[in-house]
Amino acid sequence: MSRGNAKSSALQQQAKTERIVRLEVQRRHAKGTLRVIDAMIRDVDDQLLYVAQFKKEWLQHRKELEAARQELLAEELTRRQQFEKHCLHTLHQLACGKNTNLRAKILQPNGGVTDS
């Protein structure tokens, strides 16, 4: 029976050794996979940093463009108000008959425009 026990003991030892070898192979594979994942995470972090910086610059540029647009709109509004004020003033003068020279120019067939 001791021979049977010896064989059984040898088989158990071999099974333990195989299990240890399998675990070591799995550990090495997991370690390699972890390295790859870490590298991928670093790449994604770099890309996210780039995107965040790009977004910050883009938003700043949009803010500057919006400020310029608002400035142009304000200038246009001012010019439009001045033009409307001038038109109202002219209409008022025409209605009151104060500027007969202007009325005569407007009533001319070419609208007071002279060919030069």
pTM, to two decimals: 0.51
pLDDT at 111: 57
Question: How confident is the model over 5-32, as pLDDT tens digits?
Answer: 878 898 999 999 999 999 999 999 999 9
3-state secondary structure the chain: CHHHHHHHHHHHHHHHHHHHHHHHHHHHHHHHHHHHHHHHHHHHHHHHHHHHHHHHHHHHHHHHHHHHHHHHHHHHHHHHHHHHHHHHHHHHHHHHCCCHHHHHHHHCCCCCCCCC
